[in-house]
């Protein structure tokens, strides 16, 4: 009997020792997991709201979305609530709702893409003071909003130089979207570039009043080409897609016809390899990725305005079409003017008022 009790006690001791050992191993594993970063750090998530042009406008919104995708790829994220995403606006009534939706979904940073989103970003930023927002192409004076502007006039100036050196008729066209400051910067810079390279050239300026009406862009382009304009530049978002269609259609009807189109925001050569001379690039993708990265690293520029120009590689000119007869001369002139602008020797006008007193050096 005594032996049986002793044996049972021994078994209990051994069992307890096994349990303690197991617990010890479990704790060790937990500590190692913690040491090895087993507890996954919550991803810094980012989203954006498009303006009415849509995410596939081949221009502004698409470039912004590319920037978010680049940020996501660099940080191992996927599309969705745990990574990066977008909501598309079909009218300006959607702006506030979409911004609010993304903020409530828990995204760490929400971008409003475009000048037209000023009021919506201002409104939702005040309602959601603990959330961070960013706006492209305008300034919102709230501590939880990062504002992003570009020196569009510098890229447009180089486009104007290219247009002036390529035109044979000395008649050039400019199609604007809406009459807002950002488009005025494009117009002023383009007119200054034409003036600097060929003062005798004339520029026909017309506004469509919309950023999402390709058919309207085509109608305006048709009138410009038929009146003798042989190079037409657009700063009109998806409306400008009509310019490329018109230029391509005319070129197909008469391959010997020398007409050119100049794109905007991103390299739009894919819109017409035979007719796109170049594009005034605005690196919205770079800016979006840059602001998102700064925010992730704890350097969110809330309440500040960040400006991207030629000096920051935030704007520039896409390669000149290899079929352009004056390609070499254009490239040389563009390089010379780029150097002058970057050095500060030339200040490109950003308004029509500044254009009046602009003198090419």
Structural domain of 115: 46-150+287-295
pTM listed for this prediction: 0.85
Position 26 scores a pLDDT of 38
Tokens 């007869």, residue located = 325
Query: Are 340 and 207 found together in one domain?
Result: yes
CB 165 within 8 A of CB 197: yes
123 alpha-carbon distance from chain centroid: 22
Distance CA 348, CA 2 (A): 103
Residues 192, 193, 195, CA angle at the centre, nearest 5°? 65
Query: Are 276 and 352 found together in one domain?
Result: yes
Query: Are 201 and 228 found together in one domain?
Result: yes
Could you read off the pLDDT of 27-68 as tens digits, one per residue? 333 333 334 444 557 899 999 999 988 899 888 899 999 999
Query: Are 218 and 330 found together in one domain?
Result: yes
Could you read off the pLDDT of 150-160 as tens digits, one per residue? 999 999 999 99
Query: Are 230 and 138 found together in one domain?
Result: no
Could you read off the pLDDT of 152-211 as tens digits, one per residue? 999 999 999 999 999 999 999 999 999 999 999 999 999 999 999 999 999 999 999 999
Q: Beta-carbon neighbour count of residue 338 at 10 Å?
A: 18
The CATH number given to whatever domain includes residue 84 is 3.40.50.2300
Q: Beta strand 315-317 with 276-282: parallel, antiparallel or unpaired?
A: antiparallel
Say if 319 falls within a structural domain. no
The domain boundary, picked from 249, 274, 295, lies at 295
Say if 303 falls within a structural domain. no
The β-bridge partners of 235 are 176
Query: Are 252 and 291 found together in one domain?
Result: no
Distance CA 62, CA 236 (A): 14
Query: Are 136 and 77 found together in one domain?
Result: yes
- Residue 328, judged by CB atoms within 10 A of its CB (0-12, 13-18, 19+), counts as exposed
Q: Beta-carbon neighbour count of residue 60 at 10 Å?
A: 27
- Residue 219, judged by CB atoms within 10 A of its CB (0-12, 13-18, 19+), counts as middle
Distance CA 121, CA 133 (A): 7
Q: Is the dihedral of CA 322, 326, 329, 333 positive or negative?
A: negative
User: Could you give the number of structural domains in the chain?
Assistant: 2
Distance CA 360, CA 3 (A): 110
Give every CB contact of residue 161 below 8 A, 6+ residues apart in sequence. Answer: 193, 194, 196, 197, 330, 333, 334, 337
Position 60 scores a pLDDT of 87
Query: Are 225 and 140 found together in one domain?
Result: no
């Amino acid at each position: 009997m005594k032996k049986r009790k002793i044996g049972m006690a021994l078994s209990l001791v051994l069992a307890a020792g096994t349990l303690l050992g197991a617990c010890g191993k479990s704790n060790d594993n937990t500590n190692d997991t913690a040491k090895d970063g087993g507890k996954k750090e919550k991803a810094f998530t980012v989203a954006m709201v498009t303006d009415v042009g849509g995410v596939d406008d081949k221009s502004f919104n698409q470039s912004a979305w590319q920037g978010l995708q680049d940020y996501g790829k660099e940080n191992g994220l996927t599309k969705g609530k745990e990574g990066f995403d977008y909501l598309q606006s079909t009218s300006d009534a959607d702006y506030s709702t979409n911004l609010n939706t993304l903020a409530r979904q828990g995204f760490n940073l929400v971008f409003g893409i475009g000048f037209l989103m000023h009021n919506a970003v201002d409104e939702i930023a005040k309602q959601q003071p603990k959330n961070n927002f960013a706006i492209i192409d305008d300034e919102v004076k709230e501590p939880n909003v990062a504002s992003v502007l570009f020196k569009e006039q510098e890229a447009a100036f180089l486009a104007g130089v290219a247009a002036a050196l390529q035109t044979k008729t000395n008649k050039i066209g400019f199609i604007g979207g809406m009459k807002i400051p950002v488009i005025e910067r494009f117009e002023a810079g383009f007119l200054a570039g034409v003036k600097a390279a060929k003062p005798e050239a004339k520029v026909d300026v017309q506004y469509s009043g919309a950023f999402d009406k390709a058919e309207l862009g085509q109608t305006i382009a048709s009138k410009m080409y038929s009146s003798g304009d042989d190079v037409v530049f657009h700063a009109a978002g998806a409306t400008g897609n009509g310019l490329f269609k018109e230029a391509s259609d005319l070129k197909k009807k008469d391959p010997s016809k020398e007409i050119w189109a100049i794109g905007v925001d991103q390299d739009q050569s894919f819109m017409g390899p035979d007719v796109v001379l170049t594009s005034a690039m605005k690196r919205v993708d770079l800016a979006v990725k840059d602001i998102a990265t700064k925010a992730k690293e704890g350097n969110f520029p809330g309440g500040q305005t960040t400006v991207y120009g030629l000096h920051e590689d935030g704007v520039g000119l896409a390669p000149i079409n290899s079929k352009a007869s004056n390609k070499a001369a254009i490239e040389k002139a563009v390089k010379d003017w780029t150097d002058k602008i970057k050095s500060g020797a030339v200040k490109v006008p950003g308004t029509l008022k500044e254009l009046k007193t602009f003198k090419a050096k």
